[in-house]
Chain A
Amino acid sequence: MFSLAHITQIIHDWLYSSFDPTLALIIECAIVILVAIGIFAVLGLVLVLMERKVAAHIQIRLGPNRVGPGGMFQTVADTLKLIMKEGLTPDLADKFLFNLAPFLVMIVAMLLLAPIAFAKGVQIWDINIGVLYISAVSSLSVIGILMAGWASNNKYSLLGAMRSGAQIVSYELSAGFSILTIVVLTGSLRLSDIIASQENGWWIFKGHIPVIIAFILFIIAATAETNRAPFDLAEAESELTAGFHTEYSGMRFALFFLAEYINIFIVCAIGATLFLGGWMPLHIGGWEGFNHLMDYIPSSFWFIGKTFFLIFLIMWFRWTFPRLRVDQLLNLEWKYLLPISLINLLLVTVIAIMGWYF
């Protein structure tokens, strides 16, 4: 059976047999960095094209169809254009912070790739506090956005950044609580343990209604945290022109853009890992033949399939819903989502203690 884990193991063994351990570790680190940058770039290209195609399908039009077969290389062409554009820095901007912000946002997005299990045994860093690491690092991205908005010395940027700050900080709570429900059920913060616990069924099936509620809350919070419509107030086009990245152009704008899409991928990957079993195939307890058949589909396919299903959901939201107003957005979180997720966490804890899940 095809598995990426064999390939990584072979590379690992070969490195350690032909070099001394320190050098091998350094080479491994370099390979991982290259792979991470590669994933970053490929995901950016694929997701931007996917967004445009999904939007086109919803909006009864064709979407990009000129560059390459079916418009496949449209994003490559766009990226080339953005690289060649002049990166303007406004006169009155805080130059250092203004230039630092896009890199900060991108670095945060790249750091978040580390604990994600892309397939069986393909995980850059299986840290024992994986879930905590993700929630901690993902909240750093707001600093980059605030920095960008403040340093631009533009009123639209400032308003967008302030909105973004209020939004991300609030929605982090319900995202955190919905992640906690799975941690409570699994008893571990390590992502590989969480995936392993779903071997005989994904949590969304095993955990009864509370987990389904947690999943819905997670999707809403994830949409809000990535500043996507209907929660795209930070860059609300019709209100703030482009929000916090109004003044950015060229490649620095592209970094914001890429980071946004990588963030979508990451939240969807986390959602897929926690609620839909990550790379774990669809297993139904007791159906040995069925489970065996499902094992033949490579684990990476399962992971990518689930993640892209969630990404499609989030894109679907964007092209269907109008935007919320800023006070409605905060009302939704503090008056509805947060109490619901607190009560839900309590319910899940009862379920976990009594062992009522399958």
Chain B
Amino acid sequence: MYTQTEIIKDTTQLNSNGNEGELVINVGPQHPATHGVLHLVITLNGETIKKIEPHLGYIHRSIEKMCESLTYRQFIYVTSRMDYLSAHINNLACALCVEKGMQIEVPERAQVIRILMSELTRIASHELWVGAMAMDLGAFTPFFYTFREREVINDIMEQTCGARLTMNYMVPGGTMYDLHPDFQNRVKAFIIQFTSKVTELEDLIANNIIFQNRTKGVGVLSAEDAISYGCTGPVARGSGVSCDIRKIQPYSGYEKVSFEEVLEPAGDSYARYLIRIREMYQSISIIEQLIDNIPEGDFQAKTKAVLKLPKGEFYTRVETARGELGVYIVSEGGTTPYRIKFRSPGFSNLSALNHMVKGSKIGDLMATMGTLDLVIPDIDR
């Protein structure tokens, strides 16, 4: 960790080494553009970025270690605190992994509810991202417009799950409760509101010449680099890499709904913006297909009170709003996992940042970092 006095020493050392004109700046852990407590050490030459070094660990809570002392029912709740913007999908990944180990059949109804909730979460996450991204570029107003829609989703979540952010709704075998009776009506009302208001974002952001100049051709990531850095989710799809787990390895009944995997070949910040906007439309279409066809039946499979995974290794992966989330459980046959490892999308997406912004201006760093959609607790865990 850098302290104030150390940094001053650092720069003088650099200057005495002949690297005159280099300026080392700490962006974060407290900084308005890092959306959390990301700490970047940036080496600048004037306004031009020479090197970026992310320093992680500021918000490390050792979630993976904590999970080892929690039972298979309990550890799922902790994972809501990783990528808190797709808490549902994190929980789903863990529940799927436990179900895979226990070989639990999940009822039809629970599967559909899971998809609905996942897609609502995805929309909420992308909505927040659009607002935050615009704020990184200096436009404050879109943030309020996107929060208006996100608020509706949060209300729907609150009604069914009892919480707005860390829902803990997915449990091994299905969902914790049944849907609220008003759920369908409210989701339908939301779809109408969303489709009528999302064009406002286009007018306010995408059609703005300043926004286009700030994002087109900025932070370009080629398809090869996206693969070699392990980027997933909208970041990789913005470079034309097909990586949607919902298509490649369908889970929880995604094979039964029809949707497109959105791809953009350009690889710049604008492409990543378009990907997320179009993914919201895809999510809406998935919800539209399912909202009137929720099968009757149980919302939860009958499971034992104490879950014990058989000895072995289990891995599942799902598509969160940020990319591929992998859950790897090593079981010794007990009631708690022997070892848990999460493969978080934010970590590998962040690793591409230095490559993307080297040689560009400070303003480009914010425009690029914004499009990576970093959630720092997801990176640090």
Complex CA–CA separation, A61 to B144 (angstroms): 8
Q: Which of B97-105, B207-215, B232-240, B306-314 makes up part of the contact surface? A: B207-215
Flag if A322 contacts B139 (CB, 8 Å).
Answer: yes
Q: Which residue of A lies closest to B362 (CB)?
A: A239
Asked if A241 CB lies within 8 Å of chain B CBs, one says yes
| Contact present for A155 and B366 (CB under 8 Å) | no
**Is A326 part of the binding interface, using a Cβ–Cβ cutoff of 8 Å?**
yes
- Scan residues 331-380 of chain B and give those whose CB is less than 8 A from a CB of chain A: 361-367
User: Does A325 make an interface contact (CB < 8 A)?
Assistant: yes
Cα(A59)–Cα(B357), bound, Å: 32
The CA-CA distance from A38 to B208 in the complex, in Å, is 40
Binds B, one of A26-34, A217-225, A229-237, A294-302: A229-237
Nearest residue (CB) in A for B209 is: A321
Q: How many residues of B contact A (CB 8 A)?
A: 32
Cβ of A55 to closest chain B Cβ, rounded Å: 8
A326 and B361 form a contact (CB under 8 A): yes
- A322 CA / B214 CA spacing, docked (Å): 9
Nearest-CB distance from A89 to chain B (Å)?
Answer: 15
Please give, as numbers and ranges, the residues of chain A lying within 8 Å of B21 by CB-CB distance.
none
Chain B residues, Cβ within 8 Å of A230:
138, 210
Q: Which residue of B lies closest to A240 (CB)?
A: B362
Q: Which of A155, A323, A328 contacts B138 (CB 8 A)?
A: A323
Residues of chain A contacted by B60 (CB below 8 angstroms): none
Contact of A239 among B23, B139, B208, B363 (CB under 8 A): B363
Closest to A92 in B: B8
A317-340 at interface with B (beta carbon < 8 Å): 319-328
Q: How far is the CB of A265 from chain B (nearest CB, A)?
A: 22
| Measured CA separation A55–B144 after assembly (Å) | 11
B199 on the A face (CB < 8 A): no
Q: Nearest-CB distance from B218 to chain A (Å)? A: 9
Q: B366 to chain A: which residues have CB within 8 Å?
A: 238-239
A56 nearest CB neighbor, chain B only: B144
Contact of A320 among B135, B139, B365 (CB under 8 A): B139
A248 at the interface (CB under 8 A from B): no
Find B363's partner among A61, A156, A321, A325 (CB 8 Å cutoff): A325
Q: Does B183 contact A (CB under 8 A)?
A: no
Say whether chain B's binding surface is mostly helix, strand, loop, or mixed: helix
With contact pairs A237-B138, A238-B137 given, residues A325 and B214 touching in the complex (Cβ less than 8 Å): yes
- A240 neighbours in B (Cβ, 8 Å): 362
The residue in chain B whose Cβ has the minimal distance to the Cβ of A59 is B144
A156 in contact with B138 (CB, 8 Å): no
- Chain A residues, CB < 8 A from B363: 233, 236, 239, 323-326
Cβ-defined contact, A328 with B33, below 8 A: no
A58 at the A/B interface (Cβ < 8 Å)? yes
Q: Which of B23, B134, B148 contacts A322 (CB 8 A)?
A: B134
Q: Does A1 contact B (CB under 8 A)?
A: no
Nearest A residue to B33 by beta-carbon distance? A238
A10 is an interface residue with CB less than 8 A from chain B: no
Collect the chain B residues with CB atoms within 8 Å of residue A55's CB. Answer: 140
* Bound-complex Cα distance A229 to B364 (A): 17
Which residue of chain A has its CB nearest to the CB of B369? A238
Task: Tell me how far the C-beta of B301 lies from the nearest C-beta in chain A, rounded to whole angstroms.
Answer: 44
* 22 CB-based A-B contacts, threshold 8 Å: A58-B141, A59-B141, A60-B144, A61-B144, A155-B25, A156-B25, A159-B47, A163-B47, A233-B363, A239-B33, A239-B366, A319-B140, A320-B204, A322-B138, A322-B205, A322-B210, A324-B363, A325-B367, A326-B47, A326-B363, A328-B213, A328-B214
Q: For the complex of A and B, list the 5 residue pairs with the smallest distance between their C-beta atoms, beginning with the closest.
A: A323-B138, A322-B137, A325-B363, A238-B33, A322-B139
